[in-house]
Amino acid sequence: MARFGVVTAHCGSSVTVRARSLCLHGDTPGAVGLARRVRERLEASGVRVEAFA
């Protein structure tokens, strides 16, 4: 989604997505560590991560 603008639907078809944000729920066990890993992998893939303005 972040790199190619496409996600795979449950039925297997491709769906174009123009996402501008990503929401991670803070009540998930281990949420802080998960958020760190997501950010690291996004940045490692060349996705720009920035705060909302």
pTM (two decimals):
0.73
Which pLDDT belongs to residue 23? 87
CB environment 12-29: b (16+ within 10 A), e (fewer)? eeeeeeeeeeeeeeeeee
The secondary structure of 10-34 as a DSSP string is TTS-EEE---------TTSTTHHHH
Q: What is the DSSP letter of 52?
A: -
Residue 53 has pLDDT above 80, yes or no: no
Domain layout of the chain by residue ranges: 22-48
| pLDDT bracket for residue 13 (50, 70, 90) | very high
Which pLDDT belongs to residue 43? 96
Which pLDDT belongs to residue 44? 96
Which pLDDT belongs to residue 52? 82
Which pLDDT belongs to residue 5? 93
